[in-house]
Chains A and B, each alone.
Chain A
Amino acid sequence: MHTKTLTELRAGLAAREFSSRELTEHFLRRIRQFDGEINSLITVTEEQALAQADAADATLARGEGGLLTGLPVAHKDIFCTEGVRTSCGSRMLDNFIAPYTATVVEKMAAQGAVMLGKTNMDEFAMGSSNETSFYGPVKNPWDQERVPGGSSGGAAATLAARLAPAATGTDTGGSIRQPAALNGVTGLKPTYGRVSRWGMIAFASSLDQAGPMGLSAADCALMLAAMAGHDDKDSTSLDEPVGDYLSDLNQNLEGLRIGVPEEFFPDTLDGAIADSSRDALRELEKQGAKLVPLSLPSINLSVPAYYVIAPAEASSNLSRFDGVRYGHRCDDPVDLLDLYKRSRSEGFGEEVKRRILVGTYALSAGYYDAYYRRAQQVRRLIRDDFARAFAEVDVIMGPTSPETAFKIGAKVDDPINMYMADVFTIAVNLAGLPALSMPSGFVNGLPVGTQVIGNYFQEGRILNVAHRYQLATDWHQRIPGAFA
């Protein structure tokens, strides 16, 4: 059952080939068998999963059900789940039992999804390798000496190892797409505001967006249909109609205009990775798409702009962790300031503290204009580059990540090098656009991903392009040998 896609499992449940309980027990067994090796889950919610599965079976027996009835899903441990530990990968929240449930989790549960557990992640989603997690690094199922990417690395590894058929992720600078690429799975970051952020622990609020991760574009379409929509509880959630993602999947690509920015294929790029994305473009050309060379000159400044904006917003968001109302509290504080300082210093890891300090510095008196204001101006230049491009093309494509999965420990002492892992993904967050990563080949036995970027609210179009590509290729069906 674990080699099937979510879409196939849904059909299997509908045809009564197996029950939700059988399906759920199968994945729970696989988690018990394999998760010790790859460390992709922080918490497994076995009892609740089985209760939800039984409820789903009862619903299905009545001939009823929603989009996800009886289908198991693993949620990133950044989404609050009432009564279940929600750690965000941090010692700060190791003892935090969420008192409410995130909208994303609630909406998927309302469509009948069964929660298997909570996936490992970089601490507070700050990282591109999953090495900053308080719970230890996740291992890449394709090569356990390597990282799964991050920050949704636990989610991507869970999928690659087939420990769950569906997962949720969040993406602030590439945290869905980069790990999807490094694990050979498909992940979509929707338009900023498409999916509610309520109950999703905030990192950089003007960039954070939740999205689906799965084994195929069709699976992501199914999940997004359940996740998307306006939410009064999130003031940045947008009141736009939700597309019919499943019906859009099969449209033909005749006449599709694909923008190919020169900035996504720099001379310094690994030739094998460039070839993988170029092969994907050729496949889409065969299906009737036209390639349009273009330039997005300002995106070369996206990494520096991001490393001002994201830490600045993080320094503000993470000020809520003060040892008073929830989370870690130091022993025997001598006064209030000591309580704040020691609780925070003990609760946060090195990378999180580093980003809080950078953000605090960038926002401090005298530096605001030089850093934050300028970064926000560059952000507009980047958005305008994309707006000009989308006047000419329907989607924009290139490699998701400039490299395949790197060795655990290879970059921990070199933050700048680590930050460059997201060089192709960050501009999309700054512009607020939707983008997907799909498997497009292998280099030295490690998966490579290609990114499809769309205009605002064009999730249906992106999923359609990826689905048509996946009908013609089988990269997304490959399973790492040890987990087959």
Chain B
Amino acid sequence: MAIDSKVVAQVAHLACLQVDDNETAALSERLNDILAMVDQLQQADVDGVAPLAHPLDVSQPLRDDQVTEPDVRERVMPIAPATEAGCFLVPRVIE
């Protein structure tokens, strides 16, 4: 299935990436090349094969519901681009 400029723009939006109009044609060509390679997967006979998410079929372990995270506010706030009163600042979202 071919990706055109419109699909690139839509997927870029989903991925929160800005793609300029002059890039979409070249980009859709590259993505189509990759998808054409990936389409070899359609040859595989996977009838009745369960998808494999973990190579050792291990599931996520559970632990007791206890507080284990330390308070790291003082360590993580200084590396943020913009903060105020212990919060991360972003552009206004409610007018």
Contacts and interface: CB of A to CB of B under 8 A. Distances in A.
Contacts of A345: 17-19
Nearest to A338: B91
A354 B49 contact: no
B61 to A, nearest CB: 6
Interface of B: 1, 3, 7-8, 11-12, 14-19, 27, 30-31, 33-35, 37-44, 46, 49-56, 58, 60-61, 63, 72, 75-76, 79-82, 88, 90-93
B24 to A, nearest CB: 11
A473 interface: no
B90 A339 contact: yes
Contacts of A206: 53-55
Please indicate which of the listed interface residues A315, A326, A333, A338 has the most CB atoms of chain B within 10 Å of its own CB: A326
A322 interface: yes
Contact of A415 (B34, B51, B90): B34
Given A374-B41, A415-B33, A432-B54, 14 more contacts: A206-B53, A336-B93, A342-B18, A357-B11, A361-B11, A374-B46, A376-B51, A378-B41, A378-B44, A379-B55, A381-B49, A416-B37, A430-B55, A432-B55
A380 B49 contact: yes
B56 A193 contact: yes
Given A301-B40, A305-B41, A376-B52, A96 B17 contact: no
Nearest to A373: B51
A337 B18 CA distance: 10
A252 interface: no
Nearest to A428: B55
Nearest to B10: A364
A453 B7 CA distance: 41
B15 A315 contact: yes
A375 interface: yes
A383 B54 CA distance: 10
20 contacts: A99-B76, A99-B79, A192-B56, A304-B38, A307-B37, A319-B15, A326-B76, A326-B80, A334-B91, A338-B91, A354-B27, A360-B15, A364-B11, A376-B52, A379-B52, A383-B52, A383-B55, A415-B33, A415-B34, A431-B55
Interface in A311-350: 315, 319, 322-327, 329, 333-342, 344-345, 348
Contacts of A358: 31, 34-35
Given A377-B51, A383-B52, A357 B17 contact: yes
Given A305-B41, A323-B81, A336-B90, A364 B16 contact: no
Contacts of A96: 79
Interface string A168-201: 0000000000000000000000001100000000
Contact of A308 (B1, B16, B38, B53): B38
B54 A304 contact: no
Contacts of B52: 376-377, 379-380, 383
Interface in A395-453: 415-416, 419, 430-433
A339 B79 contact: no
A242 interface: no
Nearest to A353: B17
B56 A301 contact: no
Given A376-B52, A377-B46, A432-B56, A340 B40 contact: no
A100 interface: yes
B38 A371 contact: yes
Contact of A456 (B16, B18, B56, B81): B56
Contacts of A339: 90-91
Please indicate which of the listed interface residues B14, B44, B92 has the most CB atoms of chain A within 10 Å of its own CB: B44
Contacts of B81: 323-324, 326-327, 329
A192 B56 CA distance: 8
A433 B63 CA distance: 27
Contacts of A344: 15-18
Interface string A69-105: 0000000000000000000000000001101100000
B82 A329 contact: yes
A382 B52 CA distance: 10
Contacts of B72: 99-100
B77 to A, nearest CB: 9
Contact of B41 (A322, A371, A433): A371
A97 B75 CA distance: 10
A431 B52 CA distance: 9
